[in-house]
Structure 1
């Protein structure tokens, strides 16, 4: 997907109604109050010695940063929003100790905190728009994600 296609996908997400139920759709997942679109997905890293992984991580962060520059021209500088504390809260490990259950973090923030370290975040027309780089595990693909939600960050 080209940068123009990424911007078009973000604009489409902004204009769409949110689904009534959680589920998959073309290019991503959505639910009540949110859309998450996979703009770009890499290959996996099962046979990688780390070289390809590092280059891919840099590439995906550069893609996110390039889109951030273009979106900042529209909406101003983004907030950089760390999801680390949300992940700790949801896992019940907020203070480094073990716990039976974590806090229930609203979607899409709960899911994002499992694989996205931070988001570039804007508030536009009553909705949050975010860009992030996701990776679930070292062997799994990177994804450039676009998020549109009406749910405030916790």
Structure 2
């Protein structure tokens, strides 16, 4: 199984997990982790390959830049989870709404001292 197919299978398992009833709640998993100092280009290429396959399933969606959410947070606005944490960890996300659940995939590479992570999140909370 190729790496993209393996990560898509993990996303399918993530989407099948129960979320707390009533709207709030989310699950975030690290699909892949690099070592500190790893170039992020490979992670971004992998995210883009996954976005192409997921886009074929649920429709094409342009990446969501996270700068506006970071600015809103810095001004004291309350941003719901998981979006607040994701905007601090990623520069952009690929986001789809599938049935009653939102799916976001992104590369957490904003902290140079931390390892790079390919993240997937499912939530019932819509993006702000």
TM-score (normalised: structure 1): 0.75
Is the counterpart of residue 76 in structure 1 residue 59 in structure 2? yes
Distance in 2 (alpha carbons) for counterparts of 1:66 and 1:79 = 13
Structure 1 residue 19: Cα displacement: 5.2
Question: Is the Cα–Cα contact under 8 Å of residues 79 and 122 in structure 1 kept in the other structure?
Answer: no
Name the larger-Rg structure.
1
Structure 1 residue 6: Cα displacement: 0.6
1:98 counterpart residue number: none
Distance in 2 (alpha carbons) for counterparts of 1:74 and 1:84 = 27
**Aligned-pair Cα RMSD in Å:** 1.7
1:44 counterpart residue number: 36
Distance in 1 (alpha carbons) for counterparts of 2:77 and 2:12 = 32
**1:13-92 aligned within 5 A:** 13-18=14-19, 32-45=24-37, 53=38, 56-92=39-75
TM-score (normalised: structure 2): 0.89
Equivalent pairs counted in the alignment come to 125
Question: Is the Cα–Cα contact under 8 Å of residues 40 and 109 in structure 2 kept in the other structure?
Answer: no
For structure 1, the 5+ residue unaligned runs are 21-31, 46-52, 93-101
1:48 counterpart residue number: none
For structure 2, the 5+ residue unaligned runs are none
